[in-house]
Structure 1
Amino acid sequence: MALPPSSARVVIIGGGVIGCSVAYHLAKLGWKDVLLLERKQLTSGTTWHAAGLIAQLRATANMTKLAKYSQELYGNLEAETGVATGFKRCGSITVALSDARKEEIYRQAGMARAFGVEVEEISPSEVKNCYAHLNIEGVTAGVYLPLDGQGDPANIALALAKGARQNGAQVIEHTLVTGVSRDGRRITGVDWEQGGERGHTTCDMVVNCGGMWGHQVGRMLGTNVPLHACEHFYIVTEAIPDLTQMPVLRVPDECAYYKEDAGKMLLGAFEPNAKPWAMDGIPADFEFDQLPEDFDHFEPILEQAINRMPMLAEAGIHTFFNGPESFTPDDAYHLGQAPEMDNVWVAAGFNSIGIQSAGGAGMALSQWMDTGEKPFDLGDVDISRMQPFQGNKTYLFERSKETLGLLYADHFPFRQKATARGIRRTPFHAQLLERDAVMGELAGWERANWFAREGQKPEYQYSWSRQNFFDNVRDEHLAIRQNVGVYDMSSFGKFRVEGPDATAFMNHIGGGQYDVPVGKIVYTQFLNVSAGIEADVTVTRLAEDLYLVVGPAATRVADFTWMQRNKGAFNVVITDVTTGEGVLAIMGPRARDLLQAVSPNDFSNTANPFGTAQEIEIGMALARAHRVTYVGELGWEIYVSTDMCAHVFETVAKSGADFGLTFCGMHMMDTCRMEKGFRHFGHDITCEDHVLEAGLGFAVKTDKPAFIGRDAVLRKRDAGLARRLVQFQLTDAEPLLFHNEPVLRDGKVVGHLTSGGYGHYVGSAIGMGYVPCAQPGETAADMLASNYEIDVMGTRIKAVAQLKPFYDPTGERAKA
């Protein structure tokens, strides 16, 4: 067996399907000195026992793009490598056993159409025609995707490995990476052991494809890769006479999936209360192993399956299989450049969809590594979305009990995780709970999403129609519009940028102009070289050499990493101060009156105009008032050091009673910002959305010296827009929008909603989404002259389209 070379351009750790895919795609791009090291044999961790379901439709457009790419790749691999992949397009059917699940799968079908996936809604009898062996009692509907498929997981991985070798990559088995050498934020080489031989390979980059070992490999590389192994169960029957190829079948209401497998039937489960495995570490000799049977755990699934598929009662069980698979805290896999290191990349934690994801994930990561730029938005899976605390083993153990089952749970809008909660609390947490706040969780933060009324249970009751908090959010929304409300923004990321080069650095990294008077607030974007949006932030100049950058809670790690990686030779220090200050937003027409009641400072337009900040006294405390808004009303964000937060809250709450102050949550903030057409990063604006096409050209100042993305902004201005971000309002007040609903222009699907919600002030559902220009240079007026509809569960609803906000289009209210 060959020993690893003394040097390589990249070392890939892990020889499952994703490691093989990364090696294959890098080699295809012409990379030389690609080295894959596998501790035992290829596929011997999770890949070998995967079920091999290969679906196209995922929760977002780009994840669907990656899944579709995987299918196309696997269909051609056999001809390229001579290794049989077993790939076949047998189709798939998902059936609903309730009206709620019917709405979910029908909405998914609409999403599929928007993403270019062939799909058909089918009746229970049509389900029976496709799947004769199925008991359709209780089935309310089905969705059929004819181009879905299945394949042989191990052979797909081996075909990718052979393809990698054919293009010059080295794939070496039975070689354990035991350690690394490092220089600052870079890995300079890996230590390895093969049999009795030990050695060291220097390298330019490392890719963690360690699968369920990914967490500990990440620790070795100085990075955080939160995932945990769980037991995953399936059975394979004895051969069933005359059983022929059928579509893959999913019955999520019974936590089950079925596939025909060489004349046998495979039944797998994603049960709601999973069994985490290997809390103390995976055994060193683990290779093609399975875990002990637990028939008691699987029996409830099997009982329902025998009723649903009666032939299982007659067929003997050939195999009862229990094998480990890795799951992440949010059920999305990890991909991309690790925030903690400059040359470590990650592709791990595939949540039981590794086979269908590996082709696309390997393609996307290899392109990112090759060019240094993401090929398109990968925010759903970018490893930088993970928070440091999420690498805590106890947290991962508790959360993984839930995440396995969430794959087949009802994906209701606003559904919150139930496990591993209460870890990150804002300084106002206890006071908000005293007022019946109903908490949601984002990036580990407990955040008040809405407030229960007297006598109402402060908990979510999920559905696809108007949920139990719909009226609560309406009241909070109208309080902000008509009177005054307060909500907690403490979870938002906060960064101090300070030093002699602070202004020059900000003008390099951001599209705005930051050479402004002290106290001025600048709304701005950080752009990439293509003028896509990497961050959406506000920047406040607190002193000549000091700025405060504030961004979303979910992108705190990503925003900090982007600034650090683009710091270059600028003499600045960037410090994350998120937890140093609490923030209360006081918003609404009477916000000034309330603040003047609790503070002696001057909040007039003369002293504190819109877009400026001032130091204030509030009660007996000190704070800083930023006059800025994400809800489109007169208001201030009050920044308070954490030690004085409780006092400030009590002061505001006490005086607020005289003004009819309403406590509000994050759901209100979202519905209000949509009425105002304010973009949400990760939905409406991403790294692949050009800042001009997003309608944010006003925030870009090209008359200043060069900044990241400036050339791409100028090119787009010369060439004209290819699409525009359009705002929509349904003419029917009843339907609800969430996001991803298809947008139809003159009867043809042209895109999908990036955001959706209910405009409680304007009186119907609203949303926004990108619409392609019909031809180069199409004017905004011509685009808006078309007829627009939104597909809601297969029904087309007429919509009004605008580029301006539906609420207060001139922005006068915030400047009142």
Structure 2
Amino acid sequence: MTLPTSARTVVIGGGVVGCSVAYHLAKLGWNPVLLERKRLTSGTTWHAAGLIAQLRATPAMTRLAKYSQELYGTLEAETGVATGFRRNGSITVALTEDRAEEIARQAGMARAFGVEVEEISPTEIAARYPHLAMEGVRSGVWLPRDGQGDPSNIALSLARGARMRGAVVAERTRVTGVRRDGARITHVEWEDGTGQGAIACDHVVNCAGMWGRDLGEMLGHAVPLQACEHFYIVTEAIDGLGRLPVLRVPDECAYYKEDAGKMLVGAFEPVAKPWGPIPEGFEFDQLPEDFDHFEPILERAVERLPILADAGIHTFFNGPESFTPDDAYHLGPCPGTANVWVAAGFNSIGIQSAGGAGLALSQWMEGGEMPFDLMDVDIARMEPFLSNRRYLRARASETLGLLYADHWPARQKATARGVRRSPLHREMLDRGAVMGELAGWERPNWFALGDEPRAYRYGWGRTSWFMAQAREHKALREGVGLYDMSSFGKLRIEGADAAGLMALACGADLEVAPGRIVYTQMLNAAGGIEADVTVTRLSETAFLMVTPAATRLRDETRLRRLAGERRVTITDVTAGEAVMAVMGPRARDLLGAVTDADLGDAAHPFGMAREVDLGMGRARLHRLSYVGELGWEVYVSSDMAAHAFETIAEAGADHGLALVGLHAMDSLRLEKGFRHMGHDITPADHVIDAGLGFAARRAGGYVGAEAVAARRETGPVARMVQFRLDDPEPLLFHAEPILRDGEVVGHLTSGGYGHSLGGAVGLGYVPCAGESAADVLASRYEIEVAGTRVAARASLKPMFDPGGDRMRG
């Protein structure tokens, strides 16, 4: 094959994901070139189980999974290549009380996301799956539109469809290097055994699957993923088996798929086996058998499905699949590059995700912005250190098993911990902190007192940390509390054009005096929220942007892309300062004991930052609040952090100071209706609908200004509403359906317990095009909790301190 010397896009990797990306780009007229080092599907795709489910953890991911199903159902007619796709439904069964609660909540989530679902009893399970031993089965859910397909043929059909629309698909063509101009790749170099060459290109897409990490290094970006061994068996043909739905028994780590009269039994074992490095010649290969590793799961499978006892094993298969540190795949433009994209690391759900992922990435490349909320899979969530090989091997041993583990609220990863620590880490541990982890940061989530166990005890009810959260919540509301927020991102933006960049990036007016703090968002062209930040003006030419820990890299990347050729320097200074939030009605009294500075409203009003003496050192006090109480964020250089903490803690003994974890911070902000980036506000949520129009009042000049002006004219099409359950017993977490006058209209974007309000609290959007605020509140609302509808009070204003008097007092 003669390859072109130029192309708009080069897609590297010919598994199902690369074929889908090429297919969808070709549909947009991009005429991509796909390069595959061996043969199409020869890495992971060919041995995938081919399970195709609809329900995922978010509406956007569910939307993409549903699209994959619809696409696979039409590909054969379009391309002439059979995909083996059929909708035979799926059943998930619960063997424990916790799992029964989980799948009941998942059923509610499915209804909220528009997925057809039915909760079924053990009797109904037995009727739909007569071969199942029912011992211990408590309940189940039936998703009739789930299905299965032939992974290789799906990929080959996508490749055929791409070629039909002008794409070039080249097998046995290895990428050997790239040529660059700064952060931009200008050419992709290749060889195919008979020759070599280079393709000039505008874009490059890394779809290399388990080779994605190594290819990422070549392309100049981090792609944290690790190959793990994945096991399944295929039986000999079983007489009279008949067609069956896909069956999942997560409490026994197993899934079952009937295909052509045989049974495939696969596993996601609790402790996986990382694998690598990958041999150069790897092609349609499998790994050495490890029957001892798989045997415990197989023994339980035979007990659960007795027909297996007399069925011969046709194939014992062990093949590699790639996993990411958080079990979410990688998609989008790569930080630190100008024209490199990625779609890789699909955590054993590549077949069900590939169609939607290809669609989403092609639309992203075409429009230049995330087409809908893809934050969960955005590659920019991945800090570069996460690509460390030792880190990945340690974490991957856990993440494979988490696919079928109990998905308890606040469940923490157990592996690869302790990489990033606040300057106050030891101080917190010494005082009873129980740590959680986010973006590698160890963060106090709650504090154990006295003989309380310093460990999580998970569940769906009132766990040990629930009581600690209540205690810390009350202490901050009534007295004074301190929590460590050093992990929050800190970006310093400075230079002659810094003010111009910030005016373009942010919706709020940042032409303020040095020392003023402004709450604002970075928006996309549609008015969706790309970042939720505070910006402190340090001088005429310098600003400090504070971001959530989870979006620090993403927010920095957006700023850099907006900066272009402007004379501005953007520096991540997160590690340079520790930050202690001192909050509560007695916060002024406590801080007044450690500084001589005047902290009165006249000298230090809300929304102001200034440097002060603190103890025997220096600090910068930001008067802000994410918990709805009087308070300051205390910024202090890392070298003085321990001294500053000790000084505050010593004085705190006379003021009833309580150490507070981030679980309490979350319940406090929920009572105030404060939004959480990535949950309550996303790129798909318009800033006006989110109730944050006050932070985007400028007439124009910023990204998204036209969309904001247009929505102000028409009014919101949805409103963010705060709900509190009338019954104080049920608990809310997220994704519970919202019912308006008996009909499901949405879902909670976040939830928790309002310890000051006396009931569970949640936030969620209610569609309201053409309606007034009074119309929205005139309805009757319920929230579905694990299958039970619970009456709820709705409010457009915070139910706790709606006027905000406490934090400005």
For 1:43, the equivalent position in structure 2 comes to 41
Counterpart of 1:160 in structure 2: which amino acid?
Answer: L
Q: TM-score, normalised by structure 2?
A: 1.00
Counting only pairs closer than 5 Å after superposition, residues 73-472 of structure 1 correspond to structure 2 as 73-278=71-276, 281-472=277-468
- 1:12 maps to 11
Cα displacement (A) at 1:503: 1.9
Q: Hey, what's the Cα distance between the residues in 2 that align with 1:135 and 1:491?
A: 49
Question: Deviation at 1:614?
Answer: 1.0
| Amino acid in the other structure paired with 1:750 | V
Q: Distance in 2 between matches of 1:340 and 1:122?
A: 49
Helix, strand or coil at the partner of 1:640 = strand
Maintained 8 Å contact 1:535/1:559: yes
SS of the residue corresponding to residue 100 of structure 1 reads helix
Partner of 1:3: 2
- Residue 739 (structure 2) pairs with residue 744 (structure 1): yes
SS in 2 for 1:658: coil
CA-CA distance at 1:791 after TM superposition: 0.5
SS at match of 1:212: helix
C-alpha displacement of 1:688: 1.1
CA distance in 2: counterparts of 1:211 and 1:172, whole angstroms: 17
2-side partners of 1:502 and 1:807: how far apart?
A: 38
CA distance in 1, matches of 2:433, 2:715: 47
Aligned partner of 1:29 in structure 2 is 28
Give how far 1:719 is off.
1.8
Whether contact under 8 Å (1:399, 1:419) holds in the other structure is: yes
What is the CA–CA distance in structure 2 between the aligned matches of 1:273 and 1:155, rounded to whole Å?
Answer: 31
1:440-478 deviations in Å (ceiling 9; x for gaps): 000000000000121011000000111111111001001
Counterpart in the other structure of 1:644: 640
Matched with 2:619 is 623
The DSSP-based 3-state class of the residue aligned with 1:673 is helix
Partners of 2:597 and 2:384 in 1: CA distance: 39
- Aligned mates of 2:151, 2:499 — CA distance in 1: 53
2:492 maps to which residue? 496
User: Which residue number corresponds to residue 802 of structure 1?
Assistant: 795
- SS of aligned partner of 2:294: helix
Query: Is 1:789 the equivalent of 2:788?
Result: no
- Partners of 2:583 and 2:443 in 1: CA distance: 18
Q: Distance in 2 between matches of 1:805 and 1:569?
A: 42
Q: Is 1:706 equivalent to 2:705 in the alignment?
A: no
Q: Secondary structure at the match of 1:814?
A: coil
Structure 2 Cα separation of the partners of residues 132 and 237 of structure 1 = 18
- SS of 2:493 mapped into structure 1: strand
What SS does the aligned partner of 2:175 have? strand
1:65 to 63, 76, 94: 63
Deviation at 1:162, TM superposition (A): 0.2
Deviation at 1:258, TM superposition (A): 0.1
Shift of 1:568: 2.8
Contact 1:57 1:67 in 2 (8 A): yes
Partner of residue 723 from structure 2, selected from 728, 744, 753: 728
1:213-268 CA distances to partner (integer Å, 9 max, x unpaired)?
Answer: 00000000000000000000000001100111100000000000001011100000
Counterparts in 2 of 1:673-692, with a 5 A limit?
A: 673-692=669-688
1:659-715, Cα deviation, whole Å (9 max, x unpaired): 110000010110000000000000000111110100001111223x51111111111
Structure 2 letter corresponding to 1:716: R
Distance apart, 1:546 and its partner CA: 1.1
Q: Distance in 1 between matches of 2:481 and 2:663?
A: 13
Q: Distance in 1 between matches of 2:500 and 2:412?
A: 42
**Paired amino acid for 1:10:** T
Does residue 755 (structure 1) correspond to residue 750 (structure 2)? The answer is: yes
1:811 is matched with 804
Aligned residues: percent identity?
67
Task: State the 1:196 CA deviation.
Answer: 3.5
- Residues 319-371 of structure 1 deviation map (CA, whole Å, 9 limit, x = unaligned): 00000000000000000000111100000000000000000000000000011
Decide whether the 8 Å contact of 1:335 with 1:346 is kept in 2. Answer: yes
> Does residue 1:480 correspond to 2:457, yes or no?
no
Please give the per-residue CA displacement for 1:47-86, whole angstroms capped at 9, x wherever unaligned: 0000000000001110000000000000000110111100
Structural RMSD (CA): 0.7
**Structure-1-length-normalised TM-score:** 0.99
Is contact 2:9-2:30 (8 Å) kept? no
> Any conservation in 1 of the 2:383–2:553 contact (CA below 8 Å)?
yes
SS in structure 1 at match of 2:765: strand
What one-letter code is carried by the residue in structure 2 that aligns with 1:13? I
The residue type equivalent to 1:565 in the other structure is: R
Deviations 1:282-330 (CA, angstroms, capped at 9, x unpaired): 1000000000000000000001001100111110101000000000000
CA drift of 1:545 comes to 1.3
Aligned positions, number: 809
CA distance in 2, matches of 1:430, 1:376: 41
Q: What is the deviation of 1:6?
A: 1.0
Task: Please state whether the residue corresponding to 1:214 is helix, strand or coil.
Answer: helix
Deviations, residues 743-785 of structure 1 (Å, cap 9, x unaligned): 0000000000001000000010000101001xx4210001110
Q: Which amino acid in structure 2 is aligned with residue 213 of structure 1? A: W
Paired AA for residue 56 in structure 2:
R
Secondary structure at 1:496 match in 2: strand
Shift of 1:717: 1.1
Shift of 1:518: 1.1
Distance 2:365 2:67 in 1: 18
Match of 1:697 in 2: 693
State the AA in 2 paired with 1:377.
D
- What's the CA shift string for 1:88-117, capped at 9, x where partnerless? 000000000001000000100000000000
Q: Secondary structure at the match of 1:800?
A: strand
**C-alpha displacement at 1:544, in angstroms?**
1.7
The residue type paired with residue 423 of structure 1 is V
Q: Which runs of 5+ in 2 are unaligned?
A: none
Greater Cα shift, 542-551 or 347-356: 542-551
Match of 2:553 in 1: 557
2:773 maps to a residue whose letter is: A
Rounded Cα–Cα distance in structure 2 between residues aligned with 1:165 and 1:236: 34
2:110 alignment partner, SS class: helix
| Partner SS for 1:367 | helix
Paired letter, 1:27: A
Aligned to 1:591: 587
Gaps of 5+ in 1: none
Are the aligned partners of 2:83 and 2:154 in contact in 1 as well (CA < 8 Å)? yes
How far residue 570 of structure 1 moved from its aligned partner, in angstroms, is 2.9
Distance of 1:479 and 1:423 partners within structure 2: 31
Q: Distance in 2 between the 1:344 and 1:707 partners?
A: 26
Structure 1 CA distance for aligned equivalents of residues 35 and 695 of structure 2: 47
Q: Which secondary structure does the structure 2 equivalent of 1:458 belong to?
A: coil
Look up the SS of the partner of 2:712 in the other structure.
helix
* Alignment-mate amino acid for residue 613 of structure 2: E
CA contact 2:508–2:695 (8 Å) conserved in 1: yes
Report deviation, 1:4. Answer: 2.0
Contact 1:3 1:194 (C-alpha < 8 Å) held by counterparts: no
- More displaced, 369-378 or 405-414? 369-378
